[in-house]
Structure 1
Amino acid sequence: MRAEFPENPASALLALLDWYAAVGVDLALDDAPHDRYADSARVASAPVVGAPAAPARREPPPAIAPETQAARPRVAAIAAPDEAVRAAEAAAASANNLQDLAAALAEFPHAPFRDMAQHFLFGAGAPGARLMVLDAAPGATEESTGEAFSGLQAKLLDNMLAAIGHNRESAYLAYVSPWRPPGDRNLTPPEAATFAPFARRHLELARPEVLLLFGDAPARVMLATTEPLAKLRGKPFDIASGAHMARAFVFSGLDSMLKSPALKPAAWRDLRAAAGSLRA
Protein backbone atom coordinates (compact mmCIF):
# COMPACT_ATOMS: atom_id res chain seq x y z
CA MET A 1 0.00 0.00 0.00
CA ARG A 2 1.49 3.32 -1.08
CA ALA A 3 1.13 6.49 0.97
CA GLU A 4 -0.47 9.34 -0.92
CA PHE A 5 1.01 12.82 -0.68
CA PRO A 6 -0.69 16.10 -1.59
CA GLU A 7 0.19 17.59 -4.95
CA ASN A 8 1.45 20.76 -3.26
CA PRO A 9 3.07 19.81 0.09
CA ALA A 10 4.04 23.42 0.84
CA SER A 11 0.42 24.62 0.59
CA ALA A 12 -0.75 21.72 2.74
CA LEU A 13 1.80 22.55 5.44
CA LEU A 14 0.83 26.23 5.41
CA ALA A 15 -2.84 25.26 5.73
CA LEU A 16 -1.96 23.02 8.70
CA LEU A 17 -0.07 25.85 10.40
CA ASP A 18 -3.04 28.20 9.85
CA TRP A 19 -5.32 25.62 11.45
CA TYR A 20 -2.96 25.24 14.43
CA ALA A 21 -3.02 29.03 14.94
CA ALA A 22 -6.82 29.17 14.68
CA VAL A 23 -7.33 26.53 17.39
CA GLY A 24 -4.76 28.06 19.73
CA VAL A 25 -1.62 25.91 19.27
CA ASP A 26 1.32 28.16 20.14
CA LEU A 27 4.05 25.75 21.27
CA ALA A 28 5.54 22.51 19.95
CA LEU A 29 6.25 19.76 22.48
CA ASP A 30 8.78 16.95 22.45
CA ASP A 31 9.69 14.04 24.72
CA ALA A 32 12.13 16.03 26.88
CA PRO A 33 10.82 18.29 29.70
CA HIS A 34 11.55 22.02 29.43
CA ASP A 35 11.47 24.78 32.04
CA ARG A 36 9.68 27.47 30.03
CA TYR A 37 9.89 29.99 32.87
CA ALA A 38 13.68 29.66 32.89
CA ASP A 39 13.78 29.91 29.08
CA SER A 40 11.70 33.08 29.23
CA ALA A 41 13.92 34.60 31.94
CA ARG A 42 17.01 33.99 29.82
CA VAL A 43 15.39 35.67 26.82
CA ALA A 44 14.18 38.62 28.89
CA SER A 45 17.63 39.18 30.41
CA ALA A 46 19.52 38.90 27.12
CA PRO A 47 20.43 42.22 25.44
CA VAL A 48 18.30 43.00 22.39
CA VAL A 49 20.25 44.68 19.62
CA GLY A 50 18.27 46.43 16.93
CA ALA A 51 14.89 45.31 18.23
CA PRO A 52 12.23 45.77 15.52
CA ALA A 53 9.53 48.37 15.88
CA ALA A 54 6.07 47.24 16.94
CA PRO A 55 4.28 45.52 14.03
CA ALA A 56 1.95 47.78 12.10
CA ARG A 57 -0.88 45.27 12.47
CA ARG A 58 -1.26 46.14 16.17
CA GLU A 59 -2.62 49.60 15.54
CA PRO A 60 -4.66 51.12 18.41
CA PRO A 61 -7.92 52.85 17.45
CA PRO A 62 -7.43 56.42 16.17
CA ALA A 63 -9.63 57.95 18.91
CA ILE A 64 -7.26 56.86 21.67
CA ALA A 65 -4.14 55.88 19.75
CA PRO A 66 -0.96 55.77 21.84
CA GLU A 67 1.46 58.45 20.74
CA THR A 68 4.43 56.09 20.85
CA GLN A 69 4.93 52.35 21.22
CA ALA A 70 8.18 50.85 22.50
CA ALA A 71 9.84 48.07 20.53
CA ARG A 72 8.36 44.73 21.53
CA PRO A 73 10.66 41.91 22.70
CA ARG A 74 11.30 39.26 20.08
CA VAL A 75 9.83 36.58 22.32
CA ALA A 76 6.97 37.30 24.72
CA ALA A 77 7.96 36.58 28.31
CA ILE A 78 6.30 33.66 30.05
CA ALA A 79 5.19 34.29 33.63
CA ALA A 80 3.35 32.32 36.27
CA PRO A 81 -0.30 33.43 36.54
CA ASP A 82 0.16 35.34 39.80
CA GLU A 83 3.25 37.09 38.43
CA ALA A 84 1.35 38.09 35.28
CA VAL A 85 -1.47 39.55 37.39
CA ARG A 86 0.96 41.57 39.52
CA ALA A 87 2.66 42.89 36.39
CA ALA A 88 -0.74 43.78 34.91
CA GLU A 89 -1.71 45.67 38.06
CA ALA A 90 1.49 47.73 37.90
CA ALA A 91 1.13 48.43 34.17
CA ALA A 92 -2.53 49.44 34.48
CA ALA A 93 -1.87 51.67 37.50
CA SER A 94 0.81 53.56 35.55
CA ALA A 95 -1.75 54.80 32.99
CA ASN A 96 -3.02 58.34 33.58
CA ASN A 97 -5.58 58.39 30.75
CA LEU A 98 -7.18 56.08 28.19
CA GLN A 99 -4.41 56.72 25.69
CA ASP A 100 -1.79 55.65 28.22
CA LEU A 101 -3.84 52.59 29.09
CA ALA A 102 -4.12 51.55 25.44
CA ALA A 103 -0.35 51.87 25.04
CA ALA A 104 0.36 49.93 28.25
CA LEU A 105 -1.99 47.11 27.27
CA ALA A 106 -0.73 46.93 23.68
CA GLU A 107 2.83 46.44 24.94
CA PHE A 108 2.06 44.22 27.95
CA PRO A 109 4.41 41.24 27.48
CA HIS A 110 2.29 38.67 29.35
CA ALA A 111 -1.00 39.31 27.51
CA PRO A 112 -2.61 36.00 26.50
CA PHE A 113 -2.67 35.24 22.73
CA ARG A 114 -1.47 38.77 21.95
CA ASP A 115 0.87 37.54 19.23
CA MET A 116 -1.78 35.27 17.68
CA ALA A 117 -4.31 37.99 16.82
CA GLN A 118 -4.12 40.35 13.86
CA HIS A 119 -5.53 43.49 15.47
CA PHE A 120 -5.41 45.34 18.76
CA LEU A 121 -8.98 46.65 19.28
CA PHE A 122 -9.21 48.83 22.36
CA GLY A 123 -12.69 50.33 22.06
CA ALA A 124 -15.25 52.23 20.02
CA GLY A 125 -17.85 54.91 20.48
CA ALA A 126 -17.46 57.97 22.72
CA PRO A 127 -14.84 57.78 25.51
CA GLY A 128 -16.11 59.66 28.55
CA ALA A 129 -19.79 58.92 27.84
CA ARG A 130 -22.17 58.37 30.76
CA LEU A 131 -22.92 54.85 29.47
CA MET A 132 -20.21 52.21 28.96
CA VAL A 133 -20.46 48.69 27.51
CA LEU A 134 -17.93 45.96 28.33
CA ASP A 135 -17.80 42.85 26.14
CA ALA A 136 -15.38 39.94 26.45
CA ALA A 137 -13.32 40.17 23.25
CA PRO A 138 -13.48 40.87 19.51
CA GLY A 139 -14.87 38.17 17.24
CA ALA A 140 -14.15 36.85 13.76
CA THR A 141 -15.66 39.85 11.96
CA GLU A 142 -13.66 42.31 14.05
CA GLU A 143 -10.53 40.25 13.40
CA SER A 144 -11.07 40.31 9.64
CA THR A 145 -12.05 43.98 9.38
CA GLY A 146 -9.82 45.47 12.06
CA GLU A 147 -12.81 47.45 13.35
CA ALA A 148 -13.99 47.10 16.94
CA PHE A 149 -17.66 46.16 17.45
CA SER A 150 -18.45 45.49 13.80
CA GLY A 151 -19.98 41.99 13.73
CA LEU A 152 -23.50 40.60 14.12
CA GLN A 153 -23.22 40.83 17.90
CA ALA A 154 -22.39 44.53 17.55
CA LYS A 155 -25.51 45.08 15.43
CA LEU A 156 -27.60 43.55 18.20
CA LEU A 157 -25.84 45.82 20.69
CA ASP A 158 -26.58 48.88 18.52
CA ASN A 159 -30.26 47.91 18.45
CA MET A 160 -30.30 47.49 22.22
CA LEU A 161 -28.71 50.90 22.75
CA ALA A 162 -31.15 52.49 20.31
CA ALA A 163 -34.04 51.02 22.30
CA ILE A 164 -33.05 53.20 25.27
CA GLY A 165 -32.19 56.26 23.20
CA HIS A 166 -28.43 55.79 22.85
CA ASN A 167 -25.92 55.15 20.09
CA ARG A 168 -22.16 55.19 19.60
CA GLU A 169 -22.11 58.95 19.96
CA SER A 170 -23.48 58.68 23.49
CA ALA A 171 -21.99 55.36 24.65
CA TYR A 172 -18.48 53.98 25.01
CA LEU A 173 -17.78 50.36 23.98
CA ALA A 174 -14.79 48.35 25.20
CA TYR A 175 -13.45 44.81 25.61
CA VAL A 176 -11.88 42.87 28.47
CA SER A 177 -9.39 41.47 25.94
CA PRO A 178 -8.51 43.73 22.98
CA TRP A 179 -7.38 40.67 21.02
CA ARG A 180 -9.57 37.92 19.60
CA PRO A 181 -9.07 34.59 21.41
CA PRO A 182 -8.13 31.67 19.14
CA GLY A 183 -11.24 30.07 17.71
CA ASP A 184 -13.48 32.65 19.46
CA ARG A 185 -13.28 30.57 22.64
CA ASN A 186 -14.16 31.96 26.06
CA LEU A 187 -11.44 33.49 28.21
CA THR A 188 -10.04 31.06 30.76
CA PRO A 189 -9.97 32.18 34.43
CA PRO A 190 -6.17 32.85 34.35
CA GLU A 191 -6.55 34.86 31.13
CA ALA A 192 -9.42 36.89 32.54
CA ALA A 193 -7.42 37.50 35.72
CA THR A 194 -4.51 38.87 33.67
CA PHE A 195 -6.77 41.29 31.79
CA ALA A 196 -8.77 42.27 34.90
CA PRO A 197 -6.49 45.08 36.17
CA PHE A 198 -6.64 46.75 32.75
CA ALA A 199 -10.44 46.40 32.60
CA ARG A 200 -10.88 47.92 36.06
CA ARG A 201 -8.51 50.77 35.28
CA HIS A 202 -10.41 51.24 32.01
CA LEU A 203 -13.58 51.81 34.01
CA GLU A 204 -11.82 54.20 36.38
CA LEU A 205 -10.41 56.32 33.54
CA ALA A 206 -13.55 56.26 31.35
CA ARG A 207 -15.70 57.25 34.37
CA PRO A 208 -19.17 56.17 33.13
CA GLU A 209 -22.21 56.42 35.36
CA VAL A 210 -23.68 53.13 34.12
CA LEU A 211 -21.82 50.01 32.95
CA LEU A 212 -23.40 47.18 30.92
CA LEU A 213 -21.57 43.85 31.29
CA PHE A 214 -22.18 41.32 28.52
CA GLY A 215 -21.27 37.71 29.28
CA ASP A 216 -19.28 35.74 31.84
CA ALA A 217 -15.81 37.28 31.59
CA PRO A 218 -16.87 40.95 31.94
CA ALA A 219 -19.22 40.13 34.82
CA ARG A 220 -16.70 38.04 36.75
CA VAL A 221 -13.83 40.44 36.13
CA MET A 222 -15.70 43.57 37.18
CA LEU A 223 -17.71 42.04 40.03
CA ALA A 224 -14.88 39.78 41.27
CA THR A 225 -17.26 36.84 41.59
CA THR A 226 -17.61 33.25 40.44
CA GLU A 227 -21.41 33.26 40.69
CA PRO A 228 -23.19 31.93 37.58
CA LEU A 229 -24.50 34.55 35.20
CA ALA A 230 -28.12 33.62 35.90
CA LYS A 231 -27.73 34.71 39.55
CA LEU A 232 -26.18 38.05 38.56
CA ARG A 233 -28.80 39.21 36.08
CA GLY A 234 -31.80 41.29 37.10
CA LYS A 235 -30.21 43.46 39.77
CA PRO A 236 -27.85 46.44 39.83
CA PHE A 237 -24.36 46.40 41.31
CA ASP A 238 -22.35 49.37 42.51
CA ILE A 239 -18.74 48.95 41.40
CA ALA A 240 -15.91 50.99 42.87
CA SER A 241 -12.80 51.31 40.70
CA GLY A 242 -10.28 53.55 42.37
CA ALA A 243 -12.12 56.72 43.32
CA HIS A 244 -14.84 56.17 40.71
CA MET A 245 -18.19 54.48 41.36
CA ALA A 246 -20.45 53.12 38.60
CA ARG A 247 -23.73 51.22 38.59
CA ALA A 248 -23.44 47.95 36.65
CA PHE A 249 -26.00 45.65 35.05
CA VAL A 250 -25.24 42.10 33.90
CA PHE A 251 -26.52 40.64 30.63
CA SER A 252 -26.16 37.37 28.80
CA GLY A 253 -23.45 37.39 26.15
CA LEU A 254 -24.40 39.03 22.86
CA ASP A 255 -23.65 35.81 21.00
CA SER A 256 -25.86 33.85 23.40
CA MET A 257 -28.75 36.26 22.80
CA LEU A 258 -28.37 35.88 19.04
CA LYS A 259 -28.55 32.11 19.39
CA SER A 260 -31.31 32.08 22.04
CA PRO A 261 -33.95 34.81 21.54
CA ALA A 262 -35.62 33.64 24.76
CA LEU A 263 -32.90 35.55 26.62
CA LYS A 264 -33.98 38.89 25.15
CA PRO A 265 -36.99 39.66 27.42
CA ALA A 266 -34.74 39.60 30.51
CA ALA A 267 -32.25 41.80 28.66
CA TRP A 268 -35.00 44.31 27.87
CA ARG A 269 -35.97 44.41 31.55
CA ASP A 270 -32.38 45.17 32.55
CA LEU A 271 -31.98 47.71 29.74
CA ARG A 272 -34.93 49.67 31.10
CA ALA A 273 -33.38 49.55 34.58
CA ALA A 274 -30.08 50.84 33.19
CA ALA A 275 -31.88 53.64 31.36
CA GLY A 276 -33.64 54.54 34.60
CA SER A 277 -30.28 54.84 36.37
CA LEU A 278 -29.06 57.20 33.66
CA ARG A 279 -32.10 59.42 34.06
CA ALA A 280 -31.84 59.50 37.86
Structure 2
Amino acid sequence: MSADADLSTQTGLAALVDWYVTIGVDIAIDEAPHDRFAESAAPPSGRAAAPPPVAAPARRAEPPARETRSPRPAAPVFTEEAARAAREAASEARTIDELQELLAGFDGCALKSTAGHFLFSAGTRGAALMVLDFAPGEEEERGGEAFVGPEARLLDNMLRAIGRDRSGAYLAYATPWRPPGARELNPAEVAALNPFLRRHVQLAAPRALLILGDFAARAALGSPDVARYRNGWFDYDHGGGTTRALLAPPLASLLRTPVLKRRAWRNLRAAAAALG
Protein backbone atom coordinates (compact mmCIF):
# COMPACT_ATOMS: atom_id res chain seq x y z
CA MET A 1 0.00 0.00 0.00
CA SER A 2 1.35 3.43 -0.89
CA ALA A 3 1.98 6.08 1.75
CA ASP A 4 -0.85 8.22 0.30
CA ALA A 5 -3.34 5.35 0.48
CA ASP A 6 -2.30 4.54 4.04
CA LEU A 7 -2.78 8.17 5.07
CA SER A 8 -6.19 8.26 3.38
CA THR A 9 -7.25 5.09 5.24
CA GLN A 10 -6.10 6.47 8.58
CA THR A 11 -7.95 9.68 7.96
CA GLY A 12 -11.12 7.81 7.03
CA LEU A 13 -10.93 5.61 10.15
CA ALA A 14 -10.46 8.66 12.35
CA ALA A 15 -13.48 10.31 10.76
CA LEU A 16 -15.53 7.13 11.30
CA VAL A 17 -14.59 6.97 14.97
CA ASP A 18 -15.51 10.64 15.39
CA TRP A 19 -18.89 9.93 13.78
CA TYR A 20 -19.50 6.97 16.15
CA VAL A 21 -18.77 9.17 19.15
CA THR A 22 -21.09 11.86 17.82
CA ILE A 23 -24.06 9.47 17.51
CA GLY A 24 -23.51 7.99 20.98
CA VAL A 25 -21.53 4.79 20.37
CA ASP A 26 -19.34 4.34 23.44
CA ILE A 27 -18.62 0.57 23.64
CA ALA A 28 -17.29 -2.06 21.25
CA ILE A 29 -19.28 -5.14 20.18
CA ASP A 30 -18.26 -8.75 19.55
CA GLU A 31 -19.74 -11.80 17.76
CA ALA A 32 -21.95 -12.99 20.70
CA PRO A 33 -25.08 -10.94 21.52
CA HIS A 34 -25.39 -9.40 24.99
CA ASP A 35 -28.53 -8.40 26.88
CA ARG A 36 -27.30 -5.21 28.54
CA PHE A 37 -30.71 -4.58 30.19
CA ALA A 38 -30.59 -7.99 31.91
CA GLU A 39 -27.03 -7.45 32.99
CA SER A 40 -27.84 -4.12 34.59
CA ALA A 41 -30.99 -5.49 36.33
CA ALA A 42 -29.29 -8.60 37.78
CA PRO A 43 -28.53 -8.45 41.55
CA PRO A 44 -24.86 -8.29 42.41
CA SER A 45 -23.39 -11.72 43.14
CA GLY A 46 -21.34 -12.31 46.24
CA ARG A 47 -19.80 -9.64 48.32
CA ALA A 48 -19.32 -6.33 46.73
CA ALA A 49 -15.82 -5.70 45.71
CA ALA A 50 -13.95 -3.38 47.94
CA PRO A 51 -13.28 -0.04 46.39
CA PRO A 52 -9.77 0.36 45.18
CA PRO A 53 -7.51 1.91 47.77
CA VAL A 54 -7.03 5.59 47.41
CA ALA A 55 -3.43 6.53 47.30
CA ALA A 56 -2.38 9.12 49.85
CA PRO A 57 -1.41 12.37 48.20
CA ALA A 58 2.28 12.68 47.74
CA ARG A 59 3.81 14.97 50.29
CA ARG A 60 5.19 18.04 48.64
CA ALA A 61 8.77 18.76 49.49
CA GLU A 62 9.18 21.85 51.62
CA PRO A 63 11.10 24.60 49.80
CA PRO A 64 14.28 25.75 51.47
CA ALA A 65 13.78 28.63 53.86
CA ARG A 66 14.69 32.00 52.49
CA GLU A 67 14.56 35.56 53.67
CA THR A 68 11.48 37.45 52.48
CA ARG A 69 10.43 41.04 52.77
CA SER A 70 7.23 41.96 54.55
CA PRO A 71 4.37 42.31 52.05
CA ARG A 72 3.26 45.83 51.22
CA PRO A 73 -0.08 46.70 52.80
CA ALA A 74 -2.95 46.20 50.40
CA ALA A 75 -4.61 49.25 48.90
CA PRO A 76 -8.04 50.09 50.30
CA VAL A 77 -10.81 48.19 48.56
CA PHE A 78 -13.51 50.85 48.90
CA THR A 79 -13.32 54.20 47.17
CA GLU A 80 -14.35 56.20 50.23
CA GLU A 81 -11.78 54.39 52.35
CA ALA A 82 -9.05 55.37 49.87
CA ALA A 83 -10.28 58.97 49.80
CA ARG A 84 -10.38 59.24 53.59
CA ALA A 85 -6.86 57.87 53.99
CA ALA A 86 -5.59 60.21 51.26
CA ARG A 87 -7.24 63.27 52.80
CA GLU A 88 -5.70 62.52 56.17
CA ALA A 89 -2.23 62.04 54.68
CA ALA A 90 -2.35 65.06 52.34
CA SER A 91 -3.55 67.38 55.09
CA GLU A 92 -0.35 66.72 57.06
CA ALA A 93 1.86 68.27 54.35
CA ARG A 94 3.06 71.81 55.02
CA THR A 95 5.42 72.02 52.03
CA ILE A 96 5.66 70.42 48.61
CA ASP A 97 8.63 68.37 49.81
CA GLU A 98 6.53 66.98 52.66
CA LEU A 99 3.68 66.24 50.27
CA GLN A 100 6.03 64.39 47.94
CA GLU A 101 7.33 62.30 50.82
CA LEU A 102 3.84 61.53 52.11
CA LEU A 103 2.58 60.51 48.68
CA ALA A 104 5.63 58.33 48.02
CA GLY A 105 4.91 56.47 51.27
CA PHE A 106 1.16 56.25 50.72
CA ASP A 107 -0.04 52.68 50.22
CA GLY A 108 -3.67 53.50 49.42
CA CYS A 109 -3.23 53.50 45.64
CA ALA A 110 -2.77 50.17 43.87
CA LEU A 111 -0.67 51.78 41.11
CA LYS A 112 2.22 51.94 43.55
CA SER A 113 2.71 48.18 43.24
CA THR A 114 2.68 48.11 39.42
CA ALA A 115 4.75 51.15 38.42
CA GLY A 116 8.50 51.06 38.15
CA HIS A 117 9.13 54.56 39.46
CA PHE A 118 7.61 57.30 41.56
CA LEU A 119 7.91 60.51 39.51
CA PHE A 120 6.56 63.65 41.09
CA SER A 121 7.45 66.91 39.35
CA ALA A 122 9.99 69.01 37.45
CA GLY A 123 10.56 72.68 36.71
CA THR A 124 10.52 75.46 39.27
CA ARG A 125 8.41 75.28 42.40
CA GLY A 126 6.70 78.54 43.16
CA ALA A 127 6.44 79.52 39.48
CA ALA A 128 3.40 81.53 38.41
CA LEU A 129 2.41 78.82 35.89
CA MET A 130 1.74 75.23 36.95
CA VAL A 131 1.28 72.58 34.26
CA LEU A 132 -0.47 69.35 35.24
CA ASP A 133 0.17 66.40 32.91
CA PHE A 134 -1.52 63.03 33.39
CA ALA A 135 1.26 60.49 34.05
CA PRO A 136 4.89 59.68 33.27
CA GLY A 137 5.44 58.47 29.72
CA GLU A 138 7.25 55.36 28.53
CA GLU A 139 10.65 57.05 28.45
CA GLU A 140 10.18 58.45 31.93
CA GLU A 141 9.11 55.05 33.24
CA ARG A 142 12.19 53.40 31.74
CA GLY A 143 14.68 56.00 32.88
CA GLY A 144 13.16 57.07 36.19
CA GLU A 145 13.29 60.83 35.47
CA ALA A 146 10.26 63.10 35.23
CA PHE A 147 9.40 65.07 32.08
CA VAL A 148 12.17 63.93 29.73
CA GLY A 149 10.32 62.07 26.95
CA PRO A 150 8.98 63.27 23.59
CA GLU A 151 5.83 64.69 25.14
CA ALA A 152 7.91 66.69 27.62
CA ARG A 153 10.06 68.03 24.78
CA LEU A 154 6.90 69.19 23.04
CA LEU A 155 5.85 70.91 26.26
CA ASP A 156 9.20 72.70 26.40
CA ASN A 157 8.61 73.99 22.87
CA MET A 158 5.13 75.14 23.84
CA LEU A 159 6.49 77.05 26.81
CA ARG A 160 9.17 78.70 24.68
CA ALA A 161 6.44 79.79 22.26
CA ILE A 162 4.97 81.99 25.01
CA GLY A 163 8.34 83.23 26.20
CA ARG A 164 8.76 80.80 29.09
CA ASP A 165 10.83 77.77 29.99
CA ARG A 166 11.12 75.47 32.99
CA SER A 167 12.59 78.24 35.07
CA GLY A 168 9.21 79.95 34.84
CA ALA A 169 6.93 76.93 35.06
CA TYR A 170 6.25 74.13 37.51
CA LEU A 171 5.46 70.73 35.93
CA ALA A 172 3.63 67.98 37.82
CA TYR A 173 1.79 64.72 37.21
CA ALA A 174 -1.77 63.83 38.16
CA THR A 175 -0.43 60.38 39.07
CA PRO A 176 3.25 59.89 39.94
CA TRP A 177 2.90 56.18 39.13
CA ARG A 178 2.39 55.32 35.46
CA PRO A 179 -0.77 53.18 35.07
CA PRO A 180 -0.35 49.91 33.13
CA GLY A 181 -0.73 50.67 29.45
CA ALA A 182 -1.17 54.37 30.29
CA ARG A 183 -4.84 53.65 30.95
CA GLU A 184 -7.13 56.13 32.67
CA LEU A 185 -7.42 56.04 36.44
CA ASN A 186 -10.29 54.03 37.89
CA PRO A 187 -12.58 55.58 40.56
CA ALA A 188 -10.63 54.13 43.50
CA GLU A 189 -7.35 55.51 42.11
CA VAL A 190 -8.91 58.92 41.51
CA ALA A 191 -10.21 58.92 45.09
CA ALA A 192 -6.76 58.05 46.40
CA LEU A 193 -4.87 60.67 44.38
CA ASN A 194 -7.31 63.59 44.22
CA PRO A 195 -6.65 64.90 47.77
CA PHE A 196 -2.92 64.94 47.05
CA LEU A 197 -3.51 66.78 43.77
CA ARG A 198 -5.62 69.46 45.41
CA ARG A 199 -3.07 69.90 48.17
CA HIS A 200 -0.30 70.02 45.57
CA VAL A 201 -1.94 72.93 43.74
CA GLN A 202 -2.67 74.67 47.02
CA LEU A 203 0.97 74.44 48.15
CA ALA A 204 2.37 75.36 44.72
CA ALA A 205 0.09 78.43 44.69
CA PRO A 206 0.35 79.21 40.96
CA ARG A 207 -1.41 82.15 39.40
CA ALA A 208 -2.54 79.91 36.52
CA LEU A 209 -2.99 76.14 36.21
CA LEU A 210 -2.78 74.47 32.78
CA ILE A 211 -4.29 70.95 32.85
CA LEU A 212 -3.28 68.73 29.94
CA GLY A 213 -6.02 66.37 28.81
CA ASP A 214 -9.22 64.86 30.14
CA PHE A 215 -7.44 62.07 32.08
CA ALA A 216 -5.53 64.63 34.13
CA ALA A 217 -8.64 66.79 34.51
CA ARG A 218 -10.78 63.92 35.83
CA ALA A 219 -8.10 63.07 38.36
CA ALA A 220 -7.67 66.70 39.45
CA LEU A 221 -11.37 67.50 39.59
CA GLY A 222 -12.47 64.14 40.98
CA SER A 223 -15.27 64.03 38.41
CA PRO A 224 -15.80 62.16 35.13
CA ASP A 225 -17.64 65.14 33.60
CA VAL A 226 -14.95 67.52 32.34
CA ALA A 227 -16.29 68.49 28.91
CA ARG A 228 -17.76 71.75 30.22
CA TYR A 229 -14.30 72.90 31.33
CA ARG A 230 -12.87 72.94 27.79
CA ASN A 231 -14.42 76.24 26.79
CA GLY A 232 -12.25 78.64 28.76
CA TRP A 233 -11.08 79.65 32.20
CA PHE A 234 -12.61 78.06 35.27
CA ASP A 235 -11.93 78.22 39.00
CA TYR A 236 -10.16 75.14 40.29
CA ASP A 237 -11.08 74.54 43.93
CA HIS A 238 -8.06 73.10 45.74
CA GLY A 239 -9.63 73.16 49.18
CA GLY A 240 -7.94 76.29 50.42
CA GLY A 241 -9.30 78.63 47.77
CA THR A 242 -9.36 78.61 43.97
CA THR A 243 -6.85 78.91 41.15
CA ARG A 244 -7.66 80.03 37.61
CA ALA A 245 -7.33 77.00 35.35
CA LEU A 246 -7.46 76.03 31.67
CA LEU A 247 -8.03 72.57 30.19
CA ALA A 248 -5.83 71.97 27.13
CA PRO A 249 -5.45 68.89 24.88
CA PRO A 250 -3.09 66.16 26.13
CA LEU A 251 0.46 66.18 24.84
CA ALA A 252 0.19 62.68 23.33
CA SER A 253 -2.78 63.80 21.23
CA LEU A 254 -0.89 66.86 20.04
CA LEU A 255 1.91 64.61 18.78
CA ARG A 256 -0.54 62.30 16.99
CA THR A 257 -3.00 64.95 15.75
CA PRO A 258 -1.32 68.25 14.88
CA VAL A 259 -4.65 69.93 14.15
CA LEU A 260 -5.27 70.01 17.92
CA LYS A 261 -2.32 72.37 18.31
CA ARG A 262 -4.59 75.24 17.31
CA ARG A 263 -6.67 74.80 20.44
CA ALA A 264 -3.56 74.29 22.56
CA TRP A 265 -2.08 77.49 21.15
CA ARG A 266 -5.19 79.42 22.18
CA ASN A 267 -4.88 78.01 25.69
CA LEU A 268 -1.21 78.95 25.86
CA ARG A 269 -1.83 82.49 24.68
CA ALA A 270 -4.62 82.87 27.25
CA ALA A 271 -2.30 81.64 30.01
CA ALA A 272 0.47 83.99 28.87
CA ALA A 273 -1.91 86.93 28.83
CA ALA A 274 -3.16 86.12 32.34
CA LEU A 275 0.37 85.94 33.69
CA GLY A 276 1.44 89.17 32.01
Under a length normalisation based on structure 2, what TM-score does the superposition of the two structures give? 0.71
User: Counterparts of 1:49-128 in structure 2 under 5 Å?
Assistant: 74-79=71-76, 80-128=78-126
1:163-201 Cα offsets, whole Å, 9 max, x none, are: 111111110000111011112222223312211000000
**Residues 128 and 172 in structure 1, CA contact (< 8 A), matched pair in contact too:** yes
SS at match of 2:71: coil
Q: Please, what is the CA RMSD of the aligned residues?
A: 1.8
Opposite residue 262 of structure 1, the aligned amino acid is: V
Q: Does 1:247 align with 2:244?
A: yes
Q: Does 1:146 align with 2:144?
A: yes
Q: How far apart are residue 51 of structure 1 and its match?
A: 9.7
User: Counterparts of 1:19-38 in structure 2 under 5 Å?
Assistant: none
Q: 1:98 to 1:145 in 2, by over 3 A?
A: same
Query: Could you tell which deviates more after superposition, 113-122 or 185-194?
Result: 185-194
SS at match of 2:125: coil
**Residues 209 and 245 in structure 1, CA contact (< 8 A), matched pair in contact too:** no
**Residues 153 and 258 in structure 1, CA contact (< 8 A), matched pair in contact too:** yes
User: Counterparts of 1:193-212 in structure 2 under 5 Å?
Assistant: 193-212=191-210
Residue equivalent to 2:134: 136
Under a length normalisation based on structure 1, what TM-score does the superposition of the two structures give? 0.70
| Alpha-carbon distance in 1 for matches of 2:182, 2:117 | 14
Q: How far apart are residue 217 of structure 1 and its match?
A: 2.6
| Alpha-carbon distance in 2 for matches of 1:78, 1:239 | 28
Q: How far apart are residue 114 of structure 1 and its match?
A: 0.5
Residue equivalent to 1:233: 230
| Alpha-carbon distance in 2 for matches of 1:242, 1:228 | 19
| Alpha-carbon distance in 2 for matches of 1:174, 1:228 | 19
| Alpha-carbon distance in 1 for matches of 2:169, 2:145 | 17
| Alpha-carbon distance in 2 for matches of 1:189, 1:163 | 36
Q: Pick the structure with greater CA Rg.
A: 2
1:41-94 Cα offsets, whole Å, 9 max, x none, are: xxxxxxxxx996xxxxxxxxxxxxxxxxxxxx6222231111011100110001
**Residues 121 and 147 in structure 1, CA contact (< 8 A), matched pair in contact too:** yes
